[in-house]
Structure 1
Amino acid sequence: MYRMLIVDDLPVIVEGLVKMFGKRKPELELYQAYSAHQALEVLNRTRIDIVLSDIRMPGMEGTELLPEIKRQWPLCKVIFLTSFDDFHYIKDAISGGGFDYLLKTESDDEIIRSIDKAIAELDAQAEANRKLLEANFRSRKAISLLQQQYVNELLRGKASLAESSVRTRIRELEMSLSAELPVYVLLGRIDSWGGKGTLEGRKLMLYAVQNIVAETLRLKVRLASSEVDGWNVAWLLQPTDPNLEKGENSPNEAEKNWFEWVYEELDAIQANCREAVGLEVSFAIGPAVVRWDSLPEAYDELLSLLWGEQGTGSEVRLRGLTRLGAPRSSLEAAKTKLANRKMKKIGLLGHYLENGEKADFDSLLDEIIDHAADENRSGFVKLEVYHSLASVFLSYLNQYPPDGKLAAQIGLDRLSHADVNLSWEELRSYFRKLAELLFDNRDQPAAQDEHIVVLRINEYIDTHLAEDVSLAKLAGIVHLNPSYLSRLYKRTAGIGLSEYINMARTEKAKELLKHSAYKIYEISAMVGYDSRLSFIRFFKTNMGMTPQEYRDS
């Protein structure tokens, strides 16, 4: 809603204009003043979008008021209304930044047309500013995404690790790191999602963890980070103190103290993640600097450490036992890459489980178990596979919580407590039967439960119209997949969710218009519309009249 101030030393003119605009332009929020000094008082406490002012007034003329208006509200459209058809006043008004000039003898229609022109220009400016802000936001977001993608590519060996290439990319992506200096590698793993089951919710949580780390370490650390596989986040760290940026083979005492400070801060970061966003996070950090061309090996070692036997449990803090990035045999490097490919495949099981692709799930599960068993290594491998498979199922159950009967059949305690005494065949049999149970129970809630879901959704919509009532939000409320909730709602209620939301907004708006003194723009916000004009269009489409016409009827 735009605000308009009417200024004239003759009350009869001000009151007449207020009455006319109240009828002809009810969407305007009107203010009035009987002198330029009174107008300044209004302008000092309220943003004004349009000023309709007399030019000749006692004490301060309209042309003297104009620069004060522009100083406080540069985008304000000032229209002068005067009985003096004098070129001198016209020239001063327009050259000083006035928007338009009208004679008091003009018809109401001419005055309305001038106001409409001002509103149209304000709308155009607002739209231009919105697009500029969106462009800036997209640009910043794109840079951030490209930075994360580059870190991911560096860690996986998919980007050139030559110093010249790294230097160029770091400069292009405006990263705070220096290509001439080595980095420390930090890896984080989400141990518990705190009920954040949806993909969107998890991405937000991973973003929150990155922010917490950046904020906690910002005084002493320059960093870049990236989500690497939906569960892990990796950081490249360099000290901000130039005296510590030597990258020598034997770190000096100051560098050791810096590393110990970072390591101790991980405890505070874990506490902040737990308290602020409800996540349990484990960390593994390399004990020494890593050359850029050794990043993939350093990442592989930390990944194996964090997901291995030492990393079992929640909120662990680990530091590498050897200097990361040191030369290793080709056999060790091959084993690490093989383990990483295995973990990627385990993550793919979650996709098959969520999309009901049973044959693909069974085939990949057999491949993973057979490959791990053939390695014929210690119980550590079995423990790693068990935890990785359990995480896939726990993720699915977080997103699609089972009812009591199904939960009892699943045996959640076995998912959270690995049994290393199981043979490989017993492990295969357990996870295969668990998958069959979930596949058989997909999208099969009891009929009475469907009605409860619809009632709960309706109750939430009715009491939260001013808030987020998107499909994703509503799905999170009842812990269902958004597309499945949409189908369930329409099947059970007989109408679509969007139809019910529109009905609820219309009924709430009608009630407020008839039985409250709230202004139109206030009612607009109360039923979930940030834009008054959008609300007016919505209401007229549904009721055949504007909100003001409905209130007056």
Structure 2
Amino acid sequence: MKILIVDDESVIREGIMRTIQRAYPQYDIYLAASPEEAVQLLRSCPIEVVLTDILMPGMTGLELMQLSKASYPHIKWVIISAYSEFAYAKEAMTLGAIDYLLKPIGKQLLLEMIDKLKPLIDREAEKIQESKMLSANLKFLREAVFQRWASGLDIGGMDMTSMINNHPRFQLVMVKMESDRTLHLEHFIIDNVLTELTALYGTGFVTTFDAKSLLGLITTNEENALDSMLEELRNCLKKYIRVPFQIMHSEVLHDFDGIPAEVQRMHQDSVSHEFEYYATSGNEIIEVAIQYIRAYYNTDLSLDKVASIVYLNPVYFSQVFKQKTGYGFKEYVIHLRMEMAKQLLLNPQLKLADISERIGYQDVKHFTQVFRRKYNVTPTEYRQECRVDARKACP
């Protein structure tokens, strides 16, 4: 079995890997610290099972699953998360996840889940492998041939009769991105979204045109359906793509020989074409950040780390966070930790050292100083006040 573990916390992904390897040393385990790394592994390795965290830099595990299912329908998905909200579990199951596990994951529960997956993988392995190899070979061959054709290059005598006959009328869609970095994840997202929409609105295919552009060919089921498709494409990309992008398209074409000139026209038009951007509002961005902080408030949280979760510059994120919450980032984390400490202090069985560690402070003295600055009493004094009169509502 080939298993991919996707989690931006190294302790989590390596702990899961060790548990599985000890029980099943014959299994191949792959690790990804981000959705972008996961995408590259999905493309290069015959992954059969993916265990993915919910909140990670760039996109959520549910988004990764949703965007990957069209290209890798055979993969079994298991969602792992620090959250117990029913909405996450419900969405995961709706998308087709096999299981939903909460952190910290018990070893026995994890191995039972792997045991449950094994017969499913074994039954499908041979059929999936043959289908995947055929599909991949056809896709890469078609992409290579069509890319050269669209660029006006020689295709070496390859026969395009079947492709031409399948599309007596068609339109071209080009998505172009702008960035100084390599765009593996963004390419993957656009390929999957455009492929799904092409199948929804008609027939056709999507190919990589160059490092920053993808080209789709579609014959729509209904006239004028392309406008609706492009609007849906635009909304999806504004949600998932964190770099500027352009969407261009052709009118209805009937001659494959006209494709190179049309592609050249779209490239030329892109110079004056307006770029579009990631459209998530400030409120949504901060909501995601707060969810992440509440899940990992007891770890070594940093402003840079949380900013990367929502794909923002740290300085800009700090400004938006203060504007939306009324707290500075560090102030909010301290407030959250201290409120949790007050709850834990009501349990007489917990020592101060245990409480301090649970909320993210390794030094009890430092925890006491922070608590006193915020509430004007020490943790011990607060606990004693609450014991004096159990009927009194503690502040």
TM-score for both structures, normalised by structure 1: 0.27
Greater relative contact order: 1 or 2 (C-alpha under 8 angstroms, separation 6 or more)?
Answer: 2
Q: Which has the larger radius of gyration?
A: 1
